């Protein structure tokens, strides 16, 4: 009986071991299957989709068939200037492996295609519209930023120069003289050099990350026109050609504060680079606190009212109005320049939706393209405005990048732009206001505002009257 019980226990052990072995095998098979399935899934995920063959040259062929008028409407520059710009950019843009590009998508994204994309965006087109050029829309901003930096570096667009030599200054003043003689038969306000003003570039509110990088609060970018913006201090010559372009202030900065903290003001007032030349800048009333013969502003309403209460005051007030009228006729050139600039580049028709340093780069590139168009217009009419090379001018460049220039550092294509933008403190502004150069022998006039009058402005006012100019107030019949 014991033997029978021992035999029964042995059979139970065999059944248990068999069942355990079966469960273990099933577990191992399940684990192996799951591993194989996961491996197959990963392999399937790694298999990239089939390349989309794109005929990007089709867009170039279509554009080459456009008439010149349509080409200009699309890209805001004429075809000859486009070709010159393309050849200049070849020295700046890195080469592209054409064979690998053809293997990838059938055709390469050529320099010409990138220029078309960039110029169309600057003209006001949305990035989604660039799908017509057979380029992935997710990469449009990448190519746009690359081309902006390349345009800022190319030699053809190295065209924003501040005249420094005697010949360059004489050439710049000659433009105003020629226009005045053509309009009035004589140079009524001689020795005019440049006219300038401030411009607000509207931008979207900077992100918290961008504000942290800049070290400025959001309120500093709020402009009095109830928008976020950047302030440009620009000066142009008689033909609306931009000679000075500085953009480094947040939108809450007013024009006079921006100018008094600009590099141009430092050159003119502190370093006195133009003291040996008889010239002046034409500015509006916002700059009247400068009070020197290099910066002429119109008579204020307070000065006109004070003049009328004096004996023979109506005649004196009329002289002031006559001067203001002729002064405004020349100062309006900078407003025309800003109008052409804003009208030509539709990207400014809505707030810029980029980081602040990219917004500044856009304003500089558009200013250079504006000068390219103005130069073409002047050349078609036989007007020479080209300055000497070498010491003939100083480059107005974008903050951030590789090499230093007159007004900052040029942003290179390899390095991100570093923005140097800050608000001037009240102390420095008060010092600038108190240290404005005023002649010691100048007598205060009873018709002046608390600040003294500009001696050169007084001489020009009397000169206009001696030439027979008289202000006639228009009245409704």
Contact 235, 334 (CB under 8 A): yes
Determine the Cα–Cα distance for residues 307 and 315; give it in Å rounded to an integer.
9
Give me 366's structure tokens. 């558009």
Strands 229-236 and 192-202 turn out to be antiparallel
Tell me what pLDDT residue 247 has.
Answer: 96
The residues, any chain, with a CB within 8 Å of residue 96's CB and separated by 6 or more, are 108, 109, 110, 111
Whole-Å CA distances, 275 to 153, 236, 272 = 32, 20, 5
pLDDT value of residue 45: 54
Please say whether the beta carbons of 231 and 215 come within 8 A.
no
Query: Residue 57, class by beta-carbon neighbours within 10 Å (0-12 exposed, 13-18 middle, 19+ buried)?
Result: middle
Task: Please give the C-alpha separations between residue 7 and each of 11, 14, 19, 20, 115, in angstroms, as whole numbers.
Answer: 6, 11, 19, 20, 93
List b or e across 111-134, with b for residues whose CB sees 16 or more CB atoms inside 10 angstroms. Answer: bbbbbbbbbbbbbebebeebeebb
**How much is the pLDDT for 260?**
94
pLDDT tens by residue, the chain, 477 residues: 455 555 555 555 555 556 566 667 777 777 777 777 777 666 555 555 556 666 678 888 899 999 999 999 999 999 999 999 999 999 998 877 666 656 566 567 889 999 999 999 999 999 888 888 888 888 899 999 999 999 999 999 999 999 999 999 999 999 999 999 998 888 988 999 999 999 999 999 999 999 999 999 999 999 998 999 999 999 999 999 999 999 999 999 999 999 999 999 999 999 999 999 999 999 999 999 898 889 999 999 999 999 999 888 889 999 999 999 999 999 999 999 999 999 999 999 999 999 999 999 999 999 999 999 999 999 999 887 666 543 334 443 333 333 333 233 233 323 333 344 544 454 444 444 444 443 444 444 433 444 456 788 888 888 888 888 766 655 444
Q: Could you report how far apart the first and last alpha carbons of the chain are, in Å?
A: 142
- The DSSP bridge partners found for residue 202 are 229
Residue 294 tokens read as 């290099």
d(CA 241, CA 256): 22
The pLDDT assigned to 106 comes to: 57
Q: Residues 6 or more apart from 148 whose CB is under 8 A from it?
A: 118, 358, 361, 362, 365
Distance between CA 404 and CA 385 in Å, rounded?
26
Q: What is the pLDDT at residue 203?
A: 97
């Amino acid at each position: 009986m014991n033997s029978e019980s021992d035999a029964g226990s042995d059979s139970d052990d065999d059944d248990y071991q068999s069942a355990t072995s079966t469960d273990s095998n099933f577990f191992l098979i399940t684990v192996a299957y799951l591993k194989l399935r996961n491996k197959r899934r990963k392999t399937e995920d790694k298999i990239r989709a089939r390349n989309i063959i794109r005929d990007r040259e089709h867009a170039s062929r279509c554009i080459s068939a456009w008439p010149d008028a349509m080409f200009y409407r699309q890209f805001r520059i004429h075809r000859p200037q486009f070709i010159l710009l393309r050849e200049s950019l070849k020295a700046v843009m890195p080469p592209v492996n054409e064979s690998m590009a053809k293997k990838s998508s059938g055709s390469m994204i050529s320099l010409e295609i990138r220029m078309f994309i960039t110029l169309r965006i600057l003209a006001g087109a949305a990035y989604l519209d660039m799908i017509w050029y057979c380029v992935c829309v997710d990469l449009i901003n990448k190519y746009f930023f690359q081309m902006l930096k390349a345009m800022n570096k190319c030699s053809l667009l190295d065209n924003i120069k501040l005249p420094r030599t005697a010949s360059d200054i004489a050439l710049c003043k000659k433009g105003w003289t020629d226009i005045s003689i053509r309009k009035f038969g004589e140079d009524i306000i001689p020795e005019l050099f440049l006219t300038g003003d401030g411009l607000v570039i509207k931008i979207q509110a900077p992100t918290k990350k961008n504000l942290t990088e800049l070290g400025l609060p959001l309120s500093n970018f709020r402009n009095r026109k109830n928008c976020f913006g950047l302030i440009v201090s620009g000066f142009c010559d008689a033909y609306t050609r931009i000679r000075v372009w500085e953009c480094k202030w947040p939108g809450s900065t007013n024009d006079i504060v921006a100018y008094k903290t600009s590099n141009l003001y430092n050159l003119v007032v502190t370093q006195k680079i133009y003291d040996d030349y008889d010239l002046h800048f034409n500015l509006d009333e916002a700059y009247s606190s400068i009070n020197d013969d290099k910066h002429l502003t119109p008579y204020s309403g307070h000065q006109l009212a004070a003049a009328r209460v004096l004996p023979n005051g109506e005649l004196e007030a009329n002289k002031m109005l006559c001067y203001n009228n002729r002064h405004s006729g020349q100062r309006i050139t900078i407003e025309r320049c800003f109008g052409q600039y804003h009208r030509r580049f539709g990207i400014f028709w809505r707030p810029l939706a980029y980081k602040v340093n990219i917004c500044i780069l856009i304003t500089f590139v558009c200013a250079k393209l504006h000068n390219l168009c103005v130069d073409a217009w002047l050349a078609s009419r036989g007007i020479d405005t080209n300055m000497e090379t070498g010491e003939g001018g100083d480059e107005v460049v974008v903050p951030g990048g590789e090499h230093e220039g007159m007004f900052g550092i040029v942003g290179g294509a390899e390095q991100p732009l570093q923005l140097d933008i800050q608000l001037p403190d009240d102390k420095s502004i008060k010092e600038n206001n108190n240290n404005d150069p005023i002649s010691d022998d100048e007598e205060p006039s009873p018709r002046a505002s608390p600040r003294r009058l500009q001696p050169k402005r007084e001489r020009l006012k009397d000169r206009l009257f001696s030439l027979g100019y008289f202000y006639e107030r228009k009245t409704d019949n």
